[in-house]
A and B are shown apart, each in its own frame.
Chain A
Amino acid sequence: MGMFGGAYNTIAFDANKCDGCGDCMTACATAKTGTVDQSRSRIQIVGSEAEGFELALCRQCADPKCVTVCPAAALTKNYANGVIDWNADKCVDCLLCTVGCAYAGIALDAGTGHVAKCDTCDGAPACVPACPHDALTYVTTSRIYNEVGDWEDLFAPGLAGCQGCNTELLMRHTLRRVGPETVLATPPGCVPGMGSVGFNGTTGTKIPVFHPLLTNTAAMLAGVKRQYKRVGRDVTALAIAGDGGASDVGFQSLSGAAERNEQILFMVVDNEGYMNTGMQRSSCTPYGAWTSTTPIGKGPGNIPSQGKTQDAKNLPLIMVNHRCEYVATASTAYMEDLYDKLDKAIQASKRGFAYLHVYSPCTTGWRFPTDQNMEVARKAVETNFVMLWEYNPTDGLHFTKPVDDPLPVTEYLKAMGRFRHLSPDQISHIQGKVVENLAFVKQMAHREAV
């Protein structure tokens, strides 16, 4: 724990969902002052219907200005829960803290004559459940980061990934979680491309790693795992492969290993193309997407090209039909869900074949700004373009993050450049596919459950 402490739970606000009803303020005022006087609420919704709403609320800053300007040591950052505590006995009502805060996070409560600020109601904020539109959420993912922060990062500190790469994030999290008793297979793709296989005779990971062919990853890993078993060592046999390798040329060995129920954990990092070699299309590339082999423009022989003309293959559903020990889809925008699935997949790989399919937005190949990765990943789920579910032979298939009220798929498409050229017809094709895929998976979820 450094100067800033660990990661903390936080109240998150989705401005798009807020209609300014003020129920959160009433709930806060009730909880904190015993009145329904919204002006005394510590959460303040500001703005208007026309211009949109925003939140004036203590941000429990890591490097809080209010604390530094308080002359009475009445404000302190609590490193256990991240909250900035206000000590009524020490406060001298000088109001200097209100001058320090640029977010109106601490203000005078006219009802008491003292300053007041959000204390997150000891980890159960009253405002959050009061919001009828789910605009407020209490994000508790911090637990994972604090826990994971204590585990060893098994990836080299420096690497050659693109700025803002989701795959790096996934690599580091996954390796930390599986731990040092692991042997890793990374076929050609971004994962070895960014340095996992190393150079100059050293590896880029702190665990044994090897570089199979695109075609034989699952077969080689299965053999390696069997040899470890034979010599009596319990290791996790992990493959981190791209969608191209897994769904195209590597599919035969993948399918074979699944059919034989080899005890391996096969993770597919699905960035929907061969991004490492120059952004060529794969069978996981979605309809309409630009890639270097599905270009936009005149096209060969003057046949105009408007991106990929086929729909994506749904590899995880195909894996379900192998009746693997465990199959799941995941996204780094939903870390708790991802970790839950990683844990189950690791366990399942001790019994047989476990398959994890993680959607991994690619800033370079999909054409979006490097700071937007999580936003793109989240939009994919919020529009049902990507569905998060898991399967095992006993319980069947079920959704882990069902989206009841999906955004139109355009919200996802417009977040990146590779779909910029889409015609209305193409968009309605994609929207249609989203609906169809959802219905299909729902049907499976239903069937598997009975």
Chain B
Amino acid sequence: MEQTKYLVVGSSHAALEAVTAIRMHDPDGSLTLLTRDPHLPYSPTVLPYVVSGRSAPDAIFLRDEKFFARQKVQLKRGTALKALHAERNAAELADGSEIAYEKILLATGAAPAIPPIPGLDQVSYHVLRTLDDATKLNAAIKNSKQAVVLGAGLVGMHAAENLVKAGASVTIVEMAKQLTDGYFDAIAAGLIEKAFTDNGARILTGSRVVKLAPSSTGATLTLENGTTLEADLLLVATGVKPNMEYLAGSRVEHDRGILVSDTMQTSVANVWSAGDCAQAKGFYTDAKIMNAILPDATEQGRIAGMAMAEDPGLKKYPGGVPLNTYHFFGRHAISVGSSKVPEGGEMVTRFDEATGRYLKAIFSADNRLTGIYGVNEFFDGGVMCQLILRRIDLSPVKERFLANPLAVGRELMSKTWR
């Protein structure tokens, strides 16, 4: 049986960061990286730009073969983990072969969640998570006249924008009352919605598709209120679910994701997990949450790798902080932290309708920043995140901070730089 000291499953952000962390501390221990994807590592986040044609599919790779050779990493592409036999430290692959490991990292990320709508399995539809999905969608967009996007999360919105720009008439159907629910608040969503409708998209929030059927154009969708929509291109972007089917029969505890400790260790010895498939503690709550965003995948991957290599510099995971950036029709929205106003805390907003500049900041009772949101109002997300994580007292500068979060954020952070 093939043997390796470190087995890293997945080849995206969490996995690559873990490889970096392991190699910083253990330059020589045998390391195998397997991914079910046939390509070199790339980020799902870049895929909307492959769809739009802005990014060439061969220019998005995060590492090349030379990197893996240099770092003495055995890369196995197109190789899926089928079952984890943690009780005997072995990973069973799709072809039935096994690899024995000393330590394994599950960084298998997430895949599109397909809603159980009657008839969906009868029609052809697109999803967007892999490079192959993106190249298919890129080809389809060129011929689409009437597209429907199910789900107005960031994946759906990105794709919808590309479809609009490619000249299709686009309808976005979203169950929730607003767009980008969970990422941005109603005012920000309103600004995003206006940009889309100004560019000709149709937006149906608070709407649910109850039935789908094949049609001559492609598919007919029936909404709850009886309206029907025709689609020659259908994109399902209603959310994601972690890839963890291989855990069946293992004793690795999982809930909505793979449950991990502050050092990304699972409930079972020698098994770690990080990224979109992991469920780790939140920064605002000790409960374990899903925080399926890129920056957190890298953070968790780094911690997991350090823990696996027994790097004494390891620091515990502070807990997931939501962070999102979103570019739409030349505008941008940034959100850092929680939108929930803590008890005794306060929420302050500033909105200039003429320029579409919007700022919302949320403070705890003792004047610590807990969340900040901006549309067309640039601030350094990384600095804001530090203000939140370090619980820096903003009492003396609150007014100034709200007037100019960019300058005052930098000023505050700069005091911690020495």
Which A residues fall within an 8 A CB radius of B?
2-3, 44, 46-48, 51, 54-56, 63, 65, 68-69, 71-73, 89-90, 92-96, 98-104, 107-108, 110, 113
Contacts A68-B13, A95-B332, A95-B334; A102 near B382 (Cβ below 8 A): yes
A-B contact pairs, 5 of them (CB 8 A): A3-B20, A46-B407, A68-B13, A69-B295, A104-B410
9-residue interface stretch from B59-67, B74-82, B183-191: B59-67
Contacts A3-B24, A72-B55, A100-B295; A46 near B45 (Cβ below 8 A): no
Q: Categorize the interface residue count of chain B.
A: 35 or more
Shortest beta-carbon distance from A92 to chain B in Å: 4
Q: C-beta contact mask, B373-384 vs A, less than 8 Å → 1, else 0? A: 000001011110
| Most chain A CB atoms below 10 A, which of B13, B24, B43 | B43
B197 at the interface (CB under 8 A from A): no
Across the two chains, which residue of chain B brings its CB closest to A44?
B410
Q: Which residues of A contact B45 (CB under 8 A)?
A: 71, 94, 96
Q: C-beta contact mask, B274-316 vs A, less than 8 Å → 1, else 0? A: 0000000000000000000011001000100000000000000
In contact, A98 and B13 (Cβ under 8 angstroms): no
Contacts A90-B59, A95-B334; A101 near B294 (Cβ below 8 A): no
Shortest beta-carbon distance from A117 to chain B in Å: 12
In contact, A71 and B46 (Cβ under 8 angstroms): yes
Across the two chains, which residue of chain A brings its CB closest to B334?
A95
A96 to B410, CA, bound (A): 17
In contact, B411 and A102 (Cβ under 8 angstroms): no
A92 to B385, CA, bound (A): 22
Q: Which residues of A contact B409 (CB under 8 A)?
A: 104
A327 to B268, CA, bound (A): 67
9-residue interface stretch from B110-118, B121-129, B323-331: B323-331
In contact, B23 and A104 (Cβ under 8 angstroms): no
In contact, A95 and B410 (Cβ under 8 angstroms): no
Q: Which residues of B contact A92 (CB under 8 A)?
A: 46, 49, 54-55, 327
In contact, A99 and B55 (Cβ under 8 angstroms): no
Shortest beta-carbon distance from A38 to chain B in Å: 11
Across the two chains, which residue of chain A brings its CB closest to B49?
A92
In contact, B407 and A94 (Cβ under 8 angstroms): no
A448 to B334, CA, bound (A): 66
Q: Which residues of A contact B411 (CB under 8 A)?
A: 46-48, 51, 54
Across the two chains, which residue of chain B brings its CB closest to A59?
B417
Contacts A72-B43, A72-B46; A46 near B295 (Cβ below 8 A): no
In contact, B23 and A69 (Cβ under 8 angstroms): no
| 5 more A-B residue pairs beyond the given contacts A99-B323, A104-B409, with a C-beta to C-beta distance below 8 A | A56-B414, A65-B382, A92-B55, A99-B295, A101-B380
Q: For the complex, would chain B's binding face be called helix, strand, loop or mixed by DSSP majority?
A: helix
Across the two chains, which residue of chain A brings its CB closest to B383?
A104
Q: Which residues of A contact B336 (CB under 8 A)?
A: 99
In contact, B332 and A100 (Cβ under 8 angstroms): no
Q: Which residues of A contact B378 (CB under 8 A)?
A: 107-108, 110
In contact, A68 and B298 (Cβ under 8 angstroms): yes
In contact, B385 and A102 (Cβ under 8 angstroms): yes
Shortest beta-carbon distance from B69 to chain A in Å: 14
Across the two chains, which residue of chain A brings its CB closest to B335?
A99
In contact, B59 and A98 (Cβ under 8 angstroms): no
A29 to B381, CA, bound (A): 23
In contact, B414 and A54 (Cβ under 8 angstroms): yes
Within 8 A of A (CB), among B399-418: 407, 409-411, 413-415, 417-418
Identify which of A55, A73, A96, A102 contacts B325 (C-beta below 8 A).
A96
Q: Which residues of B contact A89 (CB under 8 A)?
A: 59
**7 A-B pairs with the lowest CB-CB distances in the bound complex, closest first:** A99-B381, A54-B414, A71-B43, A71-B45, A95-B325, A101-B382, A71-B46
Q: Which residues of B contact A107 (CB under 8 A)?
A: 378, 380
Q: Which residues of A contact B16 (CB under 8 A)?
A: 68
Shortest beta-carbon distance from B109 to chain A in Å: 13
Identify which of B298, B302, B381, B414 contacts A47 (C-beta below 8 A).
B414
A75 to B410, CA, bound (A): 22
A98 to B385, CA, bound (A): 11
B17 at the interface (CB under 8 A from A): yes
In contact, A94 and B410 (Cβ under 8 angstroms): no
A314 to B47, CA, bound (A): 70
Shortest beta-carbon distance from A95 to chain B in Å: 4
A72 to B59, CA, bound (A): 8
Q: Which residues of A contact B413 (CB under 8 A)?
A: 102-104
Contacts A92-B49, A94-B45, A104-B413; A99 near B382 (Cβ below 8 A): yes
Q: Which residues of A contact B383 (CB under 8 A)?
A: 101-104
A184 to B66, CA, bound (A): 45
A287 to B171, CA, bound (A): 84
Within 8 A of A (CB), among B40-61: 43-46, 49, 54-55, 59-61
A103 to B23, CA, bound (A): 26
In contact, A55 and B385 (Cβ under 8 angstroms): no
In contact, A73 and B60 (Cβ under 8 angstroms): yes
A96 to B13, CA, bound (A): 13
A286 to B410, CA, bound (A): 43
| Most chain A CB atoms below 10 A, which of B49, B54, B334, B414 | B414
In contact, A98 and B381 (Cβ under 8 angstroms): yes
Identify which of A2, A55, A96, A104 contacts B294 (C-beta below 8 A).
A96
In contact, B294 and A69 (Cβ under 8 angstroms): yes
B386 at the interface (CB under 8 A from A): yes
Shortest beta-carbon distance from A228 to chain B in Å: 41
In contact, B327 and A93 (Cβ under 8 angstroms): yes
Q: Which residues of B contact A95 (CB under 8 A)?
A: 325, 327, 332, 334, 381
Q: Which residues of A contact B46 (CB under 8 A)?
A: 71-72, 92
A214 to B49, CA, bound (A): 73
Contacts A55-B414, A73-B59, A90-B55; A98 near B325 (Cβ below 8 A): yes
In contact, B380 and A104 (Cβ under 8 angstroms): yes
Across the two chains, which residue of chain B brings its CB closest to A108?
B378
Q: Which residues of B contact A46 (CB under 8 A)?
A: 407, 410-411, 414
Shortest beta-carbon distance from B86 to chain A in Å: 28
Contacts A68-B13, A72-B43, A90-B59; A98 near B410 (Cβ below 8 A): no
